Amino acid sequence: MKLIFLTFSFMCLALISTKSLAQKSIHKIIIKSAVIPGNIDTNEIKKLDEPLKGLLALYSSMGGTNCDGENCDLTTALGLGKQGSDAHKSLIKKYFPDDKVAKEVLAQDCYLRPSGASTFTEYEYLTLSVSSDTVKVYYQRCYYDHGKSGCVKGPDIYYFHDNKYKMLRRILWSQYDK
């Protein structure tokens, strides 16, 4: 009887472990390269579901990827058209209805300064790590500001429930989370 119970317990533990592993996924969206910004993996973007694209829509409004004043490469790769297009803004609103940073980027019409301007930002890399209902956004976003430069690193962490994201921890644009 003890042997049957132990076997059953082991099988249940194995199923739980397998389920946890099956739900974890890594998506390298912007891959570090010799130059900043990194390279956008459009094939990886095509694999993403709409909620993850919504998360990336927010990040495409918080840091640049070869922006020219109207377009940024990440927003384009997401199939959202120009920065601040209706498609871009509606995706952010849908998945971040109560988020302070989302409200701020929407108020700015998702605008990012052009690459090479006196002040601008670029992502060196950006990776999503999904585990069940939690998403970690690993990134390095670099900035240039009138001759000074530096970088900010993640991860930022979000909980996804009831078809919307709730920020658990965010470094990027954290001044608006207060």
Containing 34, the helix (H) or strand (E) segment is none
Q: Residue 155: count other Cβ atoms within 10 Å of its Cβ.
A: 17
Distance CA 80, CA 61 (A): 12
Could you give the percent of the chain with pLDDT greater than 90? 84
pLDDT over 50 at 8, yes or no: no
Q: What CATH number is associated with residue 167?
A: 3.10.450
Q: Residue 117: count other Cβ atoms within 10 Å of its Cβ.
A: 13
Residue 21 lies in a domain: no
Q: What is the pLDDT of residue 13?
A: 39
pLDDT over 60 at 24, yes or no: yes
The pTM of this model reads 0.86
SS3 133: coil
Reported confidence tier of residue 177, pLDDT bands at 50, 70, 90: confident
Closest CA to 136 of 168, 161, 177, 178: 168
Residue 52 lies in a domain: yes
**Domain that residue 32 falls in:** 27-177
- The rounded mean pLDDT for the chain is 89
Which residues have a Cβ under 8 Å from the Cβ of 171 and sit 6 or more positions away?
152, 153, 154, 155, 156
Residue 15 lies in a domain: no
Residue 173 lies in a domain: yes
Reported confidence tier of residue 11, pLDDT bands at 50, 70, 90: very low
Residue 4 lies in a domain: no
pLDDT tens-digit map of 46-84? 999 999 999 999 999 999 999 999 999 999 999 999 999
Distance CA 167, CA 170 (A): 7
List the structure tokens of 153.
């690193």
pLDDT tens-digit map of 25-41? 999 999 999 999 999 99
Per the structure, the count of domains in the chain is 1
pLDDT tens-digit map of 132-146? 999 999 999 999 999
Read off the amino acid at residue 149.
S
Closest CA to 84 of 65, 103, 112: 112
Residue 157 lies in a domain: yes
Residue 17 lies in a domain: no
Residue 7 lies in a domain: no
